[in-house]
Amino acid sequence: MANKGPSYGMSREVQSKIEKKYDEELEERLVEWIIVQCGPDVGRPDRGRLGFQVWLKNGILSKLVNSLYPDGSKPVKVPENPPSMVFKQMEQVAQFLKAAEDYGVIKTDMFQTVDLFEGKDMAAVQRTLMALGSLAVTKNDGHYRGDPNWFMKKAQEHKREFTESQLQEGKHVIGLQMGSNRGASQAGMTGYGRPRQIIS
């Protein structure tokens, strides 16, 4: 990657706003989950945004997403030694993003590869990992390891079945969104075109 010099003016303001979104407490929780999910052999990163970024670039994400799938259907091929060449690391991250999308993470929750590699938006990386953890807890298929309270459970569909007679009854009810016709009368109304008589 090309080395970037310092930002000035509006670029600096925008980057500073993005960096303020990064949550250090969330980082600790995500690190704990990844270690529990993948096993202690993944190590522990140095504290802070930079340590977290370097740790995730070294193939940890591939191990994480593979641990959420059953044996025999791992979506990302993980090399024995972590890749040292940048383009290989970027390829691993791209494979992680594809596997996470296939797992169910929606596109708006996904980070871009440069967000991780150039450290442009590490908060977006945290959002993607949170979405992945939430999906794993919600699926409850036995592959999630860790405390279920670390992530919010996503809402699930609650389908309702109505009989034909219930559907017919509902057609005759005026919904509260439409207002009410109770107490509606034309008492005191005058005929059309006639002025109202106001007597004081």
Q: To the nearest whole percent, how much of the chain has pLDDT over 70?
A: 80
Residues 122-144, mean pLDDT to the nearest whole number? 86
Residue 1 confidence (pLDDT): 46
SS3 content of the chain, % helix, strand, coil (to 5): 55, 0, 45
User: Do the Cβ atoms of 126 and 25 come closer than 8 Å?
Assistant: no
Span 133-157, average pLDDT: 80
pLDDT by residue (tens digit) across 21-35?
A: 777 888 888 889 889
Pick the closest to residue 102 from 143, 132, 81, 140 (CA basis).
Answer: 132
How confident is the prediction for the chain on average, in pLDDT?
79
Res 9: pLDDT: 73
On whether the CB atoms of residues 69 and 143 are closer than 8 A, the answer is yes
Confidence of residue 162 (pLDDT cuts 50, 70, 90): confident
CB atoms within 10 A of CB 14: 11
**Which of 15-24, 25-34, 83-92, 179-188 is least confident?**
179-188
Decide if pLDDT at 4 tops 80: no
- Pure H helices in 105-177: 113-117, 122-139, 164-170
